[in-house]
Amino acid sequence: MNDAPARALDAAPVPAAPKVKSRGLFPAGRTGAAMRAALLPVLVIVAWQLAGSGGSLAGGVLPTPDRVWDAWVVWAFGPQGMGLNPYSGTWLSNVLFSSMRVAQGFVLAMAIGIPAGVMIGWSRAVSGTVDPTIQLLRPIPITAWLPFSIAVFGIQDMGAIFLIALGGFYPVVVNATHGARDVDRNWIRAAEMMGASRFDVLRRVVLPAALPAIFTGLRIGLGIAWTAVIVSEMVAVKSGLGYVLWDAYYVGRMDVVIADMLSIGAMGLLSDRLIVTVEHWALRWRRLQSASR
Amino acid sequence: MGTIRFREVVKTYPGKQPVIALDRVNLDIGEGEFVALLGPSGCGKSTLLNLIAGFEEMTSGALSFNGGTVDSPGPERAVVFQEAALLPWLTVEQNIAFGPSVQKRPRAEYEPKIRELLRLVGLERFAHSLPSQLSGGMRQRVGIARALVMDPKALLMDEPFGALDAQTRMSMQQLLLDVWQSLGTTVLFVTHDIDEAILLADRICIMSARPGRITREITVDLPRPRSVDQLTDPAFIRHKAAIMAEMREAQKEHA
C-alpha cells in the first residue's frame, strides 16, 4: 500500500546486493565496486599527467596533476604570512569561511522554506496568497540578485548569506509544497476520524508525510547554496574558496584554481553526505519497506 | 447509542456533466445492528459511508447520527479503510495509540487497552513493527484495533477485506464476527462480495449504480453466533440464491 514514488534521490530502498559472480576485471562485492568507480578518475588523471610536459599542458595554461597537488599541499600546510605566496597555509580558513556562510545561509533557507512550503501545500488560503509571489520571483537567477545584494548589504558576509539563503530557499519551498500537497487523502481522513485537530493533522500527518520530498529539496537547495557562495565570494566578499578561486585566476595561478575547484567539489560532496545521513535516520521507516512481505 | 438515519439524501459531484452519486437514499440503522451495503463498484456505497463518516458533505437531504447532525469526522464513528490507511512512519502500537493520544487521554488508561486489543487481533509480537513489515491482513487487523481503541458507537467499514486473498479474508471475517459479537457496536459494512454480506450482516441493502440507490433490503435470519463454516450451510446457500435473484431483478429494473 501507499507506494508513493520515491521522491528522495536515493531514499528508494537499496536491496542487499545479491551474491554475484565477478564480472570482468573486478572482484565481486564492495571492493570491486570501489575499484570500478575509481577506474575512470584514475584514467583521466594519468592521461592528464602524460599529456603534459614540464608540468603543464595546453600551451602552458593548465598545470599537470602533480603541480596541482604540490600547490594544494602548500596552500593547505605551508607557513602563513610568506609574502611570496599569499595562499600558503590559508586553505583551512578559506574552507571554513565558505562553509560557515553556506551553513548560515542554508539554515535560513530551511527555517523559512520548510514551514512556508508545508503551509503552502497544506492550506489553500496560504497557497493562494504566497505561492504566486514565489513563482513570480523564482525565475530570477540568484546571479541576477548580486548587484542588488551588494547594494543593500555591501561587501560583507550578509550579502553572501542573503544570496545563499535565497538560492537554497526555492528548491526547499517548492519540494516541501509538493510533499505537503501529495499526502495520501486517507491518512488525513484517518487522523481526523481519530479526533485529530487541524494542527494535529499538520504536525503528525502532513509534516512526516512530506519529509521525503523535503529532503529532496534540501539536497538540491544545498547544491545551489554552494553555487551561491562561490559566486558571491568571487564578486562581493574578500575571503573564502570563491574569493581565492577568482584571485588565483587573476594572478595566473591555475594550479591553485584547480586545487580550489576540487576543494569546492569535496565540500559539496561532504555536505550532501551529511544531509543524506540525516535523511537516512529521519526516514528509517522507508528503508524497512524493502523488507515488507 | 449508534443509530444512523439517511432521509432523501442526495449527493452530486459538480462538473461539466454532474454525477449523481446518490439519489434520494433512505436508510435506517438501529443500535447494535450490522448492515451491509452491497453493490457493484461505482454505485455510491462508499460515498454513503463517507457522508456518515463526515468526510464528504451531502448535497441535499437529512442525515443524522444518534439524532444529531454530522458535519465532521469524529472518533464515535470509527472508519476502517480499504487499504487500512495506517501511518507508515508509526509502529503498530503507535498507530493504535494515535487516536487516544490526539484526544489527550491519559496514557495509563489506553496503554493496557492497546495491549488487550493487540492480543485480540493476534499481533502482540508485532507491536513494534512498521506497517510495511506486515502482510495486508495484519495491516487490516491494526486498522480494526485502531478503530476499536476509541470505543466507537459505530464502525464504518469500507470494503476492508476487499484487497485480501480468499484465505486471509475468511480469517478476517471470523475475527470481525467474534469481535462484533462480543462488543455489539453498530456496523455499516460496504462490500461487493455477496458471501461476505450474508455471513456478516443482519440486513443487506442492495445498491444499484447511476444513480446510486438502495433498491432492496434483505434481512438475513441466519442464527448467531455465526462462523465462516456456515458458508456451505444449506440455509446460507438458500439466502445466497434469493439475494442473487433479487440482484438480477434489480438490475433488470434499473437497466
Q: How confident is the model at residue A279 (pLDDT cuts 50, 70, 90)?
A: very high
List pLDDT tens digits, range A193-230: 999 999 999 999 999 999 999 999 999 999 999 999 99
Tell me, yes or no, whether B114 lies in a domain: yes
Give contacts of B77 with chain A, Cβ < 8 Å: 193
* Domain match, B219 and B247 both: yes
Residue B223 backbone zone (phi > 0: left; psi -120 to 50: alpha; other: beta): beta
Q: How confident is the model at residue A10 (pLDDT cuts 50, 70, 90)?
A: very low
Residue A237 or A213, more confident: A213
Q: Name the DSSP class of A279.
A: H
Phi/psi of residue A137, nearest 5 degrees: -85, -25
What is the spatial distance between Cα B212 and Cα B45, in angstroms, rounded to a whole number?
Answer: 8
Tell me, yes or no, whether B86 lies in a domain: yes
* Domain match, B128 and B85 both: yes
Residue A56 or A184, more confident: A184
* Domain match, B4 and B60 both: yes
Phi/psi of residue B172, nearest 5 degrees: -70, -35
**Average model confidence (pLDDT) across chain A:** 88
Q: Do B88 and A293 touch (CB under 8 A)?
A: no
Q: Average pLDDT of A260-288?
A: 93
Q: Do A88 and A80 touch, CB atoms closer than 8 A? A: yes
List pLDDT tens digits, range A95-148: 999 999 999 999 999 999 999 999 999 999 999 999 999 999 999 999 999 999
Cell readout for A28 is: 565481486
pLDDT of residue A167: 95
The interface pTM score, or ipTM, of the predicted complex is 0.93
Q: Do A194 and B150 touch (CB under 8 A)?
A: yes
pLDDT of residue A6: 40
Q: Which residue has the cell 562485492?
A: A29
Give contacts of B131 with chain A, Cβ < 8 Å: 1
Q: How far is CA A87 from CA A79, A257, B121, in A?
A: 10, 11, 70
Tell me, yes or no, whether B29 lies in a domain: yes
Give contacts of B72 with chain A, Cβ < 8 Å: 192
pLDDT of residue A1: 40
pLDDT of residue A18: 55
Tell me, yes or no, whether A85 lies in a domain: no
Q: Do B36 and B159 touch, CB atoms closer than 8 A? A: no
Q: Which residues pair with A53 in a beta bridge?
A: A56
pLDDT of residue A23: 61
Q: How confident is the model at residue A9 (pLDDT cuts 50, 70, 90)?
A: very low
Tell me, yes or no, whether B179 lies in a domain: no
Tell me, yes or no, whether A238 lies in a domain: yes
Phi/psi of residue B64, nearest 5 degrees: -140, 150
* Domain match, B191 and B69 both: yes
Domain extent, residue B21, equals 1-76+154-161+184-254
Task: Kindly tell me if the per-residue pLDDT of A240 is higher than 70.
Answer: yes
Residues near A290 by beta carbon (within 8 Å), at least 6 away in sequence: A13, A14, A15
- What A116-119 contacts at long range (C-beta under 8 Å, 24+ apart), as own/partner pairs, is A116/A173, A116/A176, A117/A172, A117/A173, A117/A174, A117/A175, A117/A176, A117/A177, A117/A179, A117/A180, A117/A210, A117/A214, A117/A217, A118/A176, A118/A177, A118/A179, A118/A180, A118/A202, A118/A206, A118/A207, A118/A210, A118/A214, A119/A180
pLDDT of residue A292: 44
- Please count the structural domains in chain B: 2
Q: Average pLDDT of A263-277?
A: 96
Domain extent, residue A137, equals 97-284
Phi/psi of residue A56, nearest 5 degrees: -150, 165
Q: What CATH number is given to the structural domain containing B3?
A: 3.40.50.300
Task: Kindly tell me if the per-residue pLDDT of A12 is higher than 60.
Answer: no
Residue A85 or B21, more confident: B21
The residue length of chain A stands at 293
Q: How far is CA A116 from CA A138, A178, A223, B156, in A?
A: 15, 12, 20, 36
What is the spatial distance between Cα A275 and Cα A222, in angstroms, rounded to a whole number?
Answer: 9
What percentage of chain A reaches a pLDDT higher than 70? 88
* Domain match, B3 and B66 both: yes
* Domain match, B50 and B97 both: no
Tell me, yes or no, whether A76 lies in a domain: no
Tell me, yes or no, whether A166 lies in a domain: yes
Q: How confident is the model at residue A83 (pLDDT cuts 50, 70, 90)?
A: low
Task: Kindly tell me if the per-residue pLDDT of A57 is higher than 90.
Answer: no
Q: Do B85 and A190 touch (CB under 8 A)?
A: yes
Q: How far is CA A118 from CA A52, B91, B117, in A?
A: 53, 24, 35
pLDDT of residue A270: 96
Q: Average pLDDT of A256-283?
A: 95
Task: Kindly tell me if the per-residue pLDDT of A55 is higher than 80.
Answer: no
Q: Average pLDDT of A151-179?
A: 92
- A 10 A CB-CB count for A14 gives 9
* Domain match, B33 and B69 both: yes
Q: What CATH number is given to the structural domain containing A243?
A: 1.10.3720.10
* Domain match, B218 and B234 both: yes
**Gap between the terminal Cα atoms of chain B:** 39
The A-side interface with B (CB below 8 A) comprises 1-2, 184, 186-187, 189-197, 200, 204-205, 208, 285-286, 288-289, 291-293
- Please count the structural domains in chain A: 1
* Domain match, B109 and B69 both: no
Cell readout for B247 is: 440482484
Task: Kindly tell me if the per-residue pLDDT of A149 is higher than 80.
Answer: yes
* Burial A112-122, CB ≥16 within 10 A → b, else e: bbbebbbbbbb
* Domain match, B70 and B83 both: no
Tell me, yes or no, whether B173 lies in a domain: no
Q: How confident is the model at residue A2 (pLDDT cuts 50, 70, 90)?
A: very low
* Residues of chain B falling short of pLDDT 50: none
The B-side interface with A (CB below 8 A) comprises 53-55, 72-75, 77-79, 81, 83-89, 98-99, 102-103, 130-136, 139, 146, 150
* Domain match, B99 and B220 both: no
* Domain match, B116 and B70 both: no
pLDDT of residue A176: 97
In a 13 Å sphere around the CA of A31, the CA atoms on its Cβ side amount to 5
Residue from B86, B87, B158 whose CB has the most chain A CBs within 10 Å, to mutate = B87
CB–CB contacts below 8 A, A to B:
83
